[in-house]
Each structure stands twice: as structure tokens, then as C-alpha cells.
């Protein structure tokens, strides 16, 4: 299976390259702000499957750059999906819990109504719609709270702060499932192979279990690193950001297990390995 991946330096794209031989496109090879270039890249490579692991993920900056965020998160995936539809090959697209409004405490089902409350969330939702509208065989994989030992993420930020501080205040009313990038990559590859073998696709969720707050995730990070840091919980209102964050990021992953036999990862096991790599 020849696999073309959009994105090269992001967490999921990096994990994909670590697990299998893929052709990963960076900005020089396919600028996501140029949808026509993305379409042309797919047509030129003619792979067996395409995975879009790239996105505009600067959640707060997106509030000031909505046009650029839409171009990268919606128009570019639309072009990729159309090229895949024209070639008759599967297209897998990574999305986010931010397509939901974050209300309630029940895990979001794949068919729950979407109602994004930020520019980032709205552009990702538009990307989902565009992928579906292309009419080809596709799968949209929503995930949340991605972490790894590569790139920028919450775990690395906490470890960096703990080098100079012994006490931190962390939001404790946002609840979600921390998700290892390696697990997302493995899930995408399993799905891609199954879709090439005839599995239809659709919208799926993949997130770590159990669901926790950012405060608890921080505490587990310091525990794994054997660092004595006092973590105090604060409400979201005490940590204002330009973009609204969903309070409830729990995702119901049952359909992914039913269709592809992929179970949600236990993030604690992955966290221990990743923290060990980082502190060494």
C-alpha cells in the first residue's frame, strides 16, 4: 500500500513516518494554503491511499486569521478529497473534538450535532463537510488532546515549565481524553488498509481513556517524570484565551471499535513511555 501523507513535521505525521514507509509532503512539496497544489500533488503521486495529517492548529491565532485557517482546514482538504475521488482511492482526514460546543458531560457520539464555538472549530467542521461533499471513499477521524515526544503539546509544555517552577495552576473544568499521536497514526493505517480492502468509511472518534481534566493530566505527567510540582486546579474563566475551549471533549469511540476493531488507547501507559524519552 503506497501512502501519501499531507504534513511532515506535525505530531501525527511524524508518528506515521516512524511506523511505516510513507511519502510525507511538507510545505515546499504541497502548500496547504494553495488547494490547487494539494490537488496536483495527489494526482502526480497517484498513491493507493491519502492521509491528511496536516492542519492549521493555532487555535487562538485562528481568531485573527479566519481566512487562512479556512483555506488550510477546509479548502485544502476539499481539494485532496476531490483528487482522491477522481482517482477512486480512499482519503483519511484527521479532525477534532472542537467541532462540538463542549456542553454536557456525555461523550460525543459520531452523529451528535456539531456546533463549533471557535474559528478553529468552525474551519475544521467546514473541512469535514467538504470531504464528505467530494463524494469519494473517505474516513474522518476526530481526536483530542494529542501528545507525543515530538512537536509542541501539553506534556512538553508542562515538563518545560517544571524545570523552573515548583507550582502551577492548571484548568480543571475542561475534560477530555489525552491521545498519543502514535496511536492515532496506527489507527489511521489500520483504517486505510481496511478501506483499501473494501471497508466503506465514515466519521469516527479516537481518543484516550480514561477522560480527565487538564489538571489531572498535568499531575500524571509530573508523576511519570518524578517531579515534585504542586498543581492547583482553576476554572476556565480564570484562564481567558482568545478562542473558546470546549469544556466537554469526551468522545464516544465505540463505532471505531465496531467497524475496525480499534480500541481507545490507555493514555497513561503511553504517557509513561513518552515522558521517559523526554526527561532522558
The set of residues, in sequence order, having a beta carbon less than 8 Å from that of 55 and lying 6+ positions away, is 7, 10, 32, 72, 73, 94, 124, 127
- Residue 231, CA distances (Å) to 131, 173, 223 in order: 41, 14, 11
The set of residues, in sequence order, having a beta carbon less than 8 Å from that of 78 and lying 6+ positions away, is 35, 127, 130, 131, 133, 134
- Residue 134, CA distances (Å) to 88, 129, 264 in order: 11, 9, 29
Q: Judge residue 99's burial from the number of C-beta atoms within 10 Å of its C-beta, 0-12 exposed, 13-18 middle, 19 or more buried.
A: buried
Rg (CA), the chain: 18
**Residue indicated by cell numbers 513511555:** 273
- Residue 26, CA distances (Å) to 6, 18, 40 in order: 7, 16, 14
206 is catalytic: no
Pair 183, 208: CB distance under 8 Å: yes
The CA distance from 151 to 217, in Å, is 18
Handedness of CA 38, 43, 44, 47 (dihedral sign): positive
Q: Which of 120, 204, 206, 239 is catalytic?
A: 120
- Which residues participate in catalysis according to the annotation? 120
Amino acid at each position: 500500500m503506497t501512502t501519501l501523507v499531507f504534513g511532515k513535521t506535525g505530531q501525527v505525521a511524524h508518528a506515521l513516518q516512524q511506523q511505516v514507509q510513507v511519502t510525507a509532503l511538507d510545505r515546499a512539496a504541497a502548500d496547504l494554503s494553495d488547494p490547487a497544489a494539494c490537488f496536483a500533488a495527489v494526482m502526480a503521486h497517484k498513491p493507493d491511499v491519502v492521509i491528511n495529517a496536516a492542519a492549521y492548529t493555532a487555535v487562538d491565532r485562528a481568531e485573527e486569521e479566519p481566512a487562512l485557517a479556512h483555506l488550510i482546514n477546509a479548502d485544502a482538504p476539499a481539494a485532496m478529497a476531490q483528487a482522491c475521488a477522481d482517482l477512486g482511492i480512499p482519503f483519511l482526514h484527521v479532525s477534532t473534538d472542537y467541532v462540538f460546543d463542549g456542553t454536557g458531560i456525555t461523550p460525543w457520539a459520531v452523529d451528535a450535532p456539531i456546533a463549533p464555538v471557535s474559528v478553529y472549530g468552525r474551519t475544521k467542521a467546514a473541512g469535514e463537510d467538504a470531504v464528505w461533499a467530494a463524494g469519494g471513499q473517505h474516513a474522518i477521524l476526530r481526536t483530542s488532546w494529542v501528545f507525543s515526544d515530538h512537536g509542541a503539546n501539553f506534556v512538553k509544555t508542562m515538563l518545560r515549565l517544571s524545570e523552573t517552577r515548583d507550582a502551577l495552576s492548571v484548568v480543571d473544568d475542561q475534560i477530555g481524553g489525552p491521545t498519543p499521536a502514535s496511536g492515532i497514526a496506527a489507527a489511521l493505517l489500520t483504517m486505510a488498509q481496511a478501506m483499501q480492502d473494501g471497508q466503506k468509511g465514515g466519521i469516527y472518534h479516537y481518543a484516550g481513556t480514561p477522560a480527565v481534566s487538564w489538571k489531572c493530566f498535568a499531575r500524571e505527567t509530573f508523576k511519570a517524570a518524578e517531579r515534585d510540582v504542586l498543581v492547583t486546579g482553576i476554572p476556565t474563566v480564570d484562564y481567558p484565551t482568545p478562542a473558546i475551549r470546549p469544556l466537554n471533549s469526551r468522545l464516544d469511540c465505540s463505532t471505531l471499535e465496531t467497524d475496525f476493531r480499534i480500541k481507545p488507547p490507555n493514555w497513561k501507559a503511553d504517557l509513561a513511555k513518552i515522558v521517559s524519552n523526554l526527561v532522558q
